[in-house]
């Protein structure tokens, strides 16, 4: 039997493209239309040799297969006995699963953090400081005549962003590429920069200086230097003129601002620049969120605890202090005594000092696939893939919630993240009584 | 040669992580370092040759790749992944975010016996060796 499912939401990056067409034959996905290279790779490989189908428990350094009940009981016991457990990941799962994870963190008196911590964490800290003028991607598509990607290379990181929402999209009021200007600011001439009408090559770690110089130019103040951050002053003034004279501008920024020197201060400067620009024209700003539901992780954790990431329940109430309650510091200081990782691979993406501690404590990983973190885990619980084998809500990078569909059955009746976390929560509550 | 090191996403890294984080494809796309062509010439390195990237936090052997995003003289690029993280700066400046971009580094050609570690060897190195 063959069927085609339309308007499928892609669960790869923060674009959450909702126009995929998936053809299913005899319960298997045989064709996917409208997907980018990364999405296509996901659909082609999700059930490949890296898939985990049986739960695993490590004993004497060796993994042995077990049934789901045993794995969940072992995981619940580890977490319930820990004094200060960490729940981390949560950007590659459904909003419903994230909600359950918050409840679990509260029941455990531990910390819940999501990948924002090592991604756009500084962006959120910047928003706390300055505030943010933003919009939906639909507005950008329909109205924007100036699009700036700063320290972001969407051709690689968000492959359909330009085609669906910005320069190559056909909006209501801006239909053609020539009706929009594209500016790229980056330390390298990236694939995105090659498409730009104006490319500005900024020196590494000097975005703050360049943003500050731009603010001066926008305010009509004279810059007394010939160049700032490796950029000639004339070019900075040219960009400021372009920004002031546009009708609807948007600044999308990437991790080049959050991961380099200055961190949240770079974001303060970018947010302030956009605020200043609104005295002259309409200008907005949006972070290029990476994983498909990292925005959802912030939304859910914020509406349940008041804070978007790095929330500590050890005092019995939610506390938030980036730098103290964020995962990298908790691990580097060696404070957590157990960790539950949901849909993330910190062993591959954290600095050595943090991974070292993860290797010393019991780690439970809920993930459909093998990765560096499953290799160092004590308990590995395989799961149905959100957006393919399980439904659920995800939040696009602009905060628009979208409903993912269940397209096919998971292998061997694997359960969703939400179901697994719910079972752990029920067990933990019993153990904590 | 002294350089500034940045890490980041690439299309190939994104697609091959979906193929599997333990796959050969992922290894081939992530255990690499992109260099500006003029820097490669100055170091007398040809594409595909192994190089060592060293920071205050460690060193790692990677395959040199001629950057398609040049010019960026004095900047080298490593895709996000376990190899890059062996030499990352854990300093968060109280923000939760380590410094994954704009790190002081040094690049030089690897010796013949310097091999690129497999993922398992990377993890063993982090744990202190077994």
With contacts defined as CB-CB under 8 Å, which chain B residues touch A117?
A: 96-97
> Which of A38, A261, A356 shows the shortest C-beta gap to B102?
A261
Q: Which residue has the tokens 């975010």?
A: B97
CATH of A48-118+293-432, one of 3.30.70.20, 3.40.50.740, 3.40.50.300, 1.10.1060.10: 3.40.50.740
Q: Minimal Cα distance from B80: which residue of A?
A: A349
* Chain A residues within 8 A of B22 when measuring between CB atoms: 50, 370-371
Please report residues of A whose CB lies closer than 8 A to that of B26. none
Strand arrangement of the beta sheet that strand A146-150 belongs to = A198-201, A181-186, A146-150, A248-253, A282-287
CATH superfamily of A121-287: Dimethylsulfoxide Reductase, domain 2 (3.40.228.10)
Q: Do A188 and B4 touch (CB under 8 A)?
A: no
CB contact under 8 A, B11 and A159: yes
Kindly list the domain boundaries of chain A, sorted by start residue: 2-44, 48-118+293-432, 121-287
Please say whether the beta carbons of A244 and A190 come within 8 A: no
**Chain A residues with CB inside 8 Å of B58's CB?**
352
Nearest by CB: A50 against B20, B81, B127: B20
Q: How many CB atoms lie within 10 A of CB A65?
A: 13
Q: How far is A280 from chain B (nearest CA, A)?
A: 32
Using CB atoms within 10 Å of the CB of residue A153, give its burial: 0 to 12 exposed, 13 to 18 middle, 19+ buried. buried
**Bridging pattern class, strands A198-201 and A227-228:** unpaired
Nearest C-alpha neighbor of A383 from the set A138, A100, A106: A100
Residue B97: phi, psi to the nearest 5? -105, 115
Domain segments of chain B: what residues?
Answer: 2-127
Which chain B residue has the Cα nearest residue A355? B126
Q: Using the beta-carbon criterion (under 8 Å), do A189 and B71 form an inter-chain contact?
A: yes
- Which of A392, A19, A399 shows the shortest CA–CA distance to A10? A19
Domain B2-127, CATH class in plain words: mainly beta
Strand A62-65, strand A111-112: pairing: unpaired
CA distance A390 to A384: 6
Q: Could you report the per-residue pLDDT of A278-335, keeping only the tens digit for each?
A: 999 999 999 999 999 999 999 999 999 999 999 999 999 999 999 999 999 999 999 9
Name the stretches of chain A with pLDDT < 50. Answer: none
Phi-psi region of A230 (alpha: psi -120 to 50; beta: other; left: phi over 0): left
Whether residues B90 and A351 touch (CB distance < 8 A) is answered with yes
Q: Which helix (H) or strand (E) holds A328?
A: helix A327-332
Confidence band, pLDDT 50/70/90 cuts, at residue B130: very low
Q: pLDDT-derived band of residue B57, with 50, 70 and 90 as boundaries? A: very high
Instruction: Mark yes or no for CB contact B67/A188 under 8 Å.
Output: yes
Chain A: closest CA distance from residue B110 (Å) = 22
Q: Select the residue from B96, B98, B118 to test the A interface by mutation, using most A Cβ atoms within 10 A.
A: B96
**Helix A417-432 crosses helix A95-108 at what angle (to 10 degrees)?**
20
A237 burial level (CB within 10 Å; 0-12, 13-18, 19+): middle
- How far apart CA A127 and CA A107 sit, in angstroms, is 29
Distance from the Cα of A128 to chain B's closest Cα (Å) equals: 13
Residues of B in contact with A190 (CB under 8 A): 69
| Cβ-contact A356, A362 below 8 angstroms | no
Helix (H, G, I), strand (E, B) or coil at A17: coil
How sure is the predictor about B129, in pLDDT bands with cuts at 50, 70 and 90? low
What distance in Å separates residue A98's CA from the closest CA in chain B? 20
Give the other-Cβ count within 10 Å of A203's Cβ: 18
The answer to whether the Cβ–Cβ distance between B22 and A50 falls below 8 Å is yes
Of B9, B60, B12, B1, the C-alpha closest to B35 is: B1
Between A41, A187, A309, which is nearest B15 by CB? A41
Alpha-carbon distance values, A99 to A293, A366, A417 (Å): 13, 15, 11
**Cβ contact B90–A353 (<8 Å):** yes
Please give, rounded to a whole number of angstroms, the shortest distance from the CA of B119 to a CA of chain A.
7
Closest CB from A122, A155, A345 relative to B21: A345
Which pLDDT tens digit goes with each residue over B73-95?
999 999 999 999 999 989 899 99
CB-count exposure of residue A235 (10 Å: 0-12, 13-18, 19+) = middle
Question: What is the longest distance spanned by two Cα atoms in chain B?
Answer: 42
- Cβ distance B98 to A345 less than 8 Å, yes or no, reads no
With an 8 Å Cβ cutoff, is B95 touching chain A?
A: yes
**Using omega within 30 degrees of 0 as the cis cutoff, is the peptide bond preceding B71 cis?**
yes
C-alpha span between A299 and A303 (Å, rounded): 6
Contacting residues of A for B16, CB less than 8 Å apart = 41
DSSP 8-state symbol, A414:
P
Q: Which residues of chain A does B123 touch, with a Cβ-Cβ cutoff of 8 Å?
A: 347, 355, 359, 372, 375-376
Q: Are B73 and B42 in contact (CB under 8 A)?
A: no
* Min distance B111 CA to chain A CA atoms (Å): 24
Rounded Cα–Cα distance for residues A21 and A23 (Å):
7
């Amino acid at each position: 039997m063959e069927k085609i499912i339309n308007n499928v939401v892609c669960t790869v990056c923060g674009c959450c493209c909702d126009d995929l067409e998936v053809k299913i034959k005899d319960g298997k996905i045989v064709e996917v239309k409208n997907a980018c290279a990364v999405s296509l790779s996901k659909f082609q490989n999700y059930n490949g040799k890296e898939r985990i189908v049986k739960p695993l428990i490590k004993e004497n350094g060796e993994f042995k297969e077990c049934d789901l009940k045993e794995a969940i009981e072992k995981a619940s016991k580890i977490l319930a006995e820990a004094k200060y457990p960490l729940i981390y990941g949560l950007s590659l799962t459904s909003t419903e699963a994230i909600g359950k994870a918050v409840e679990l963190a509260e029941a455990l008196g531990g910390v819940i953090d999501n990948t924002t911590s090592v991604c756009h964490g500084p962006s959120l800290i910047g928003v706390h400081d300055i505030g943010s003028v933003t919009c939906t991607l639909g507005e950008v598509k329909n109205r924007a005549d100036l699009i700036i990607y700063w320290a972001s290379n969407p051709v690689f990181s968000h492959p359909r962003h330009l085609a669906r929402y910005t320069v190559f999209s056909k909006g209501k009021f801006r239909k053609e590429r020539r009706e929009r200007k594209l500016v790229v600011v980056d330390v390298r001439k990236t694939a995105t920069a090659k498409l730009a009408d104006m490319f500005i090559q900024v020196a590494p770690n000097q975005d703050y200086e360049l943003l500050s110089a731009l603010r001066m130019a926008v305010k009509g103040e004279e810059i007394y230097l010939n160049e700032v951050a490796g950029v000639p002053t004339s070019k900075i003034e040219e960009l400021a003129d372009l920004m002031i004279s546009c009708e609807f501008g948007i600044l999308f920024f990437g991790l080049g601002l959050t991961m380099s020197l200055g961190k949240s201060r770079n974001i303060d400067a970018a947010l302030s620049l956009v605020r200043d620009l609104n005295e002259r024209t309409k200008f907005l700003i949006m972070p290029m969120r990476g994983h498909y539901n990292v925005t959802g992780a912030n939304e859910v954790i914020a509406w349940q605890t008041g804070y978007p990431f790095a929330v500590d329940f050890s005092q019995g109430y939610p506390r938030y202090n980036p730098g103290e309650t964020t995962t990298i510091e908790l691990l580097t200081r060696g404070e957590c005594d157990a960790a539950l990782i949901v849909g993330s691979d910190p062993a591959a993406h954290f600095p050595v000092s943090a991974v070292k501690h993860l290797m010393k404590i019991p780690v439970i990983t809920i993930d459909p696939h093998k990765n560096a973190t499953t290799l160092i885990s004590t308990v590995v619980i395989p799961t149905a893939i959100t957006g393919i084998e399980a439904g659920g809500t995800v939040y696009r990078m602009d905060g628009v919630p979208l409903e993912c569909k269940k397209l096919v059955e998971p292998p061997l009746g694997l359960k969703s993240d939400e179901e697994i976390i719910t079972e752990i929560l029920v067990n933990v509550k019993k153990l904590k009584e | 040669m002294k350089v500034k090191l940045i890490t980041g996403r690439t299309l190939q890294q994104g697609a091959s992580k979906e193929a599997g984080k333990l796959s050969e494809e992922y290894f081939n796309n992530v255990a690499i370092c992109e260099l500006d062509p003029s820097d490669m010439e100055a170091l007398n390195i040809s594409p595909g040759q192994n190089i060592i990237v060293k920071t205050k936090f460690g060193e790692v052997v990677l395959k040199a790749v001629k950057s398609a995003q040049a010019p960026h003289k004095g900047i080298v690029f490593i895709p996000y992944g376990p190899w890059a993280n062996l030499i990352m700066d854990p300093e968060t400046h109280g923000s939760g975010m380590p410094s994954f971009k704009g790190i002081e580094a040094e690049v030089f050609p690897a010796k013949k016996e310097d091999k690129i570690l497999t993922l398992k060897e990377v993890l063993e190195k982090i744990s202190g060796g077994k």
